Amino acid sequence: MTIYNLTIGIVLFFLTHIVIWIQINGQFVWKWMEEHPIIMASFGMPISWLLIIATKHIVDAFDGQLWPGRFIGFALGMIVFAVLTSHFLHEGINSKTAVSLVLSLVLVLIQILWK
């Protein structure tokens, strides 16, 4: 596993999940986004491109294996969603959500640390 590819992949997944959250849920936070859904939808192609690049880096980091990237991307998406939803929409993290987030973190750690 190369740390460089892993780091780049994780950072890109993390950033794209932030942008995805804003693209999809920004309509509930900012009036402008609610009024311009077509403009928000136009971010789909750059987001997809970044996800393709992120996946390539993760697959390279894990010697061609695709599954680790799927779990890492999913788990980071869960974590980003929980943090941004809590911050912007004030939906607190209850015990069920907290357990789910811990499990997401465990998924990432298993993929990175288990040889």
What one-character-per-residue DSSP string does 66-110 give?
A: SHHHHHHHHHHHHHHHHHHHHHHH-----HHHHHHHHHHHHHHHH
Please state the domain count of the chain: 1
Q: pLDDT value at position 14?
A: 96
Q: pLDDT value at position 107?
A: 84
pTM here?
A: 0.86
Domain residues for the domain of 95 are: 3-113
How far apart (Å, rounded) are the C-alpha atoms in residues 15 and 72?
Answer: 13
Q: What is the pLDDT of residues 25-57, one digit of tens each?
A: 999 999 999 999 999 999 999 999 999 999 999
For residue 52, the tally of other CB atoms under 10 A from its CB is 10
Return the higher-pLDDT residue of 108 and 32: 32
How far apart (Å, rounded) are the C-alpha atoms in residues 105 and 87?
Answer: 19
65 confidence band (pLDDT: 50, 70, 90): very high
